Amino acid sequence: MKALPALLLLFAIPSWAASAGQVREYWVAAEPVEWNYAPSGRNLIHPGAGLGPWGERVRYPKYHFIGYTDGSYQTPAPQPRWRGILGPELRGEVGDTLKVHFRNRTELPLSMHPHGLHYDEDNDGADRRGAGGVIGPGEAYTYTWQIDEAAGPGPTDPSSIVWLYHSHFDPVADINRGLIGTIVVTRKGMTRGPDDPRPRDVDRSFSTLFMVFDEEDGAEGGLMHAMNGYIFGNLQGLEAVAGERVRWHLVALGSEVDLHTAHWHGETVLDHGRRTDVVELLPASMVSVDMIADNPGTWLYHCHVGDHITAGMKTRWTVTPAPAGRR
């Protein structure tokens, strides 16, 4: 590149982007919770149809990663209600370092393992090896994860991408217990500001986990076909305003039954250059797609696998009309 264009490019990048990466700290505790897959107690999609065998019992003891505002672990960090069973969203920009202070408030040995980020063996949080592989009941550990170039959006990705994190002491059991969350990494120079690593080219983002939780050793009534831990429309709060640029981070986990096809009514998405309204997911899939929410209404959002529709893997989302004077 010639010197002049390079100089112009430098001025085009916001000043914070030119600085070295930040250290972003998060405080996360694993805690036992009583989870309710259908807090309304009802089938909110087809009220007359009821909850079927999945409604005979909707409350189960689970575990949850809960974000706190600081190291006193007193005040839970605010979290939108639609996140449901997902732990806190850990955010950063390429070049940043995440310091995640993990506290195990359960009676089980657990860990935190991040997909995608750069870590050494002590910070893999897996394989029962390294200092971070086994965090016993009541213990704490600070994980250090680097968001290097290889953890950031690739050339054909949107300006932010999603990664999973989960407990990996006993991965199959820990994931089914609910110890799951998401990380969102924004491309360097694309954040909203030094204190807000969310991307500046989208107005809103949602993350949804498609997963069948097995609560009763495979018995049908305990196979909870959930989106963010909710069934039959009980996932609430997915709301955008007409005209907004909405990014959907889609993840899935589980086993052979967890092949999911996320489908939006009312809008289409752009999935890495492909226009569609259905995105395919397999266990541990992580996909970020973009939508212009320009069609006001309340629309279905569901898994399109037949058996999963029957079992309640569906909800609604809303595009509210833009206020007068906007757009």
Give 117 or 224: the residue with its C-beta nearer to Cu ion.
Answer: 224
The region of 80-88, 145-153, 232-240, 306-314 touching Cu ion under the rule CB under 5 A is 306-314
- Distance of alpha carbon 112 from alpha carbon 239, whole angstroms: 30
Nearer to Cu ion, 103 or 302 (CB): 302
Residue 106 vs 208, nearer CB to Cu ion: 208
Q: Which stretch binds Cu ion (CB under 5 A): 8-16, 97-105, 175-183, 301-309?
A: 301-309
Residue range at the interface with Cu ion (CB under 5 A); choices 111-119, 142-150, 233-241, 307-315: 307-315
Minimum CB distance to Cu ion smaller for 95 or for 233: 233
Smallest separation (angstroms) from Cu ion to the CB of 303: 3
Closer CB to Cu ion, residue 259 or residue 292? 259
Q: Which of residues 88-127 bind Cu ion (CB under 5 A)?
A: none
Complex with Cu ion: residue 84 or 88, whichever CB lies closer = 84
Tell me how many residues contact Cu ion (CB under 5 A): 5
* Site stretch for Cu ion (CB under 5 A), options 73-81, 109-117, 228-236, 297-305: 297-305
| One-letter amino acid of 316 | R
Nearer to Cu ion, 303 or 319 (CB): 303
**Nearest to Cu ion of 198, 260 (CB atom):** 260
Buried b (16+ CB within 10 A) or exposed e, 24-44: bebbbbbbeeebebbeeeebb
List b or e across 143-166, with b for residues whose CB sees 16 or more CB atoms inside 10 angstroms.
Answer: bbbbbbeebbbeeeebbbbbbbbb
Q: Which of 166, 187, 188, 308 binds Cu ion (CB under 5 A)?
A: 308
If one asks whether residue 303 binds Cu ion (CB under 5 A), the answer comes out as yes
| Least distance CB 172 / Cu ion (angstroms) | 19
Q: Which is nearer to Cu ion, 147 or 262 (CB)?
A: 262
Range in contact with Cu ion (rule: CB under 5 A) among 33-41, 170-178, 248-256, 304-312: 304-312
Q: Which of 134, 179, 305, 311 binds Cu ion (CB under 5 A)?
A: 305
Chain residue at closest Cβ approach to Cu ion: 303
CB of 261 to Cu ion, least distance (A): 7
Dihedral sign (CA 321, 237, 195, 167): negative
**CB 176 → Cu ion: shortest distance, Å?**
16
Which residues in the 235-294 window bind Cu ion by CB under 5 A?
260
- What is the Cα–Cα distance from 38 to 35, expressed in whole angstroms? 9
CB of 158 to Cu ion, least distance (A): 24
Interacting span for Cu ion (CB under 5 A) from 10-18, 26-34, 266-274, 302-310? 302-310
Q: What residues line the site for Cu ion (CB under 5 A)? A: 260, 303, 305, 308, 313
